Amino acid sequence: MNNKIIIINGPNLNLLGEREQSQYGSDTLNKIKETCLKKSKELELEVEFAQSNVEGELVNIIQDARKNFDGMIINAAAFTHTSVAIRDALELFKKPIIELHISNIYKREEFRQKSLISDVVNGGIFGLGSDGYILAIISMQKLLIK
Ligand code: DQA
């Protein structure tokens, strides 16, 4: 059976394409989703895509993912820098997690340079634009076959 992964997106990522193109590029979340589905098919992974602007909903999605998914890619967006609740939920997942950011958070405002989740994930990708999603899928597939 194919491994199943979930790609979780946090607040304001539903407005990609419209939002600060100098940081996030022009791809919409739908376009990114399509590209991810294509790449996962090639790699024989099953992928589900999720997005929420609500912290508690993200916690619920992460908790539920324990039962149904083998790996997780998460762009927690602004909650990366603030949410102990999302960090705690990620710690309960116990399977591979990749942290993703479209922009280089270490080159931006000081408040973005701190991630509360980096030390509870396997690894991270940042600053490579929406290509980061594809790179994360490739890395996840490798983590899952190890
Ligand atoms: C982001 C970076 C965060 O600081 C920001 O709040 C986002 C997007 C990124 O993908 O670069 O919403 O996670």
Question: CA torsion, points 54, 141, 122, 100, in degrees to nearest 10?
Answer: -40
Which residues participate in catalysis according to the annotation? 24, 101
Closest to 15 measured CA to CA, from 6, 24, 7, 3: 24
pLDDT of residue 60: 98
pLDDT band at 2 (very low <50, low <70, confident <90, very high): confident
pLDDT band at 86 (very low <50, low <70, confident <90, very high): very high
Architecture of domain 4-145: 3-Layer(aba) Sandwich (3.40)
Query: Residue 78 Cα, ligand 1 centroid: separation in angstroms?
Result: 6
Q: What percentage of residues in the chain have a pLDDT greater than 90? A: 97
pTM exceeds 0.95, yes or no: yes
C-beta contacts of 33-38 below 8 A and 24+ residues apart: 33/7, 35/130, 35/133, 35/134, 36/7, 36/133, 36/134, 36/137
Contact 90, 23 (CB under 8 A): no
Average pLDDT over every residue of 3-10:
98
Asked if pLDDT for residue 146 goes beyond 80, the answer is: no
In ligand 1, the atom with minimum distance to the C-alpha of 78 is 6
Given phi > 0 = left and psi -120 to 50 = alpha, else beta, which region is 112? alpha
Q: What are the start-end ranges of the H helices in the chain? A: 21-24, 29-42, 55-68, 84-91, 131-145
What are the residue ranges spanned by the domains of the chain? 4-145
Q: What mean pLDDT value characterizes the chain?
A: 97
pLDDT one-digit tens code per residue, 41-85: 999 999 999 999 999 999 999 999 999 999 999 999 999 999 999
Across the strands, what pairs with 10? none
The answer, yes or no, to whether any atom of ligand 1 lies below 6 A from the CB of 14, is no
Asked if pLDDT for residue 1 goes beyond 80, the answer is: no
Query: Residue 23 Cα, ligand 1 centroid: separation in angstroms?
Result: 9
In ligand 1, the atom with minimum distance to the C-alpha of 81 is 4
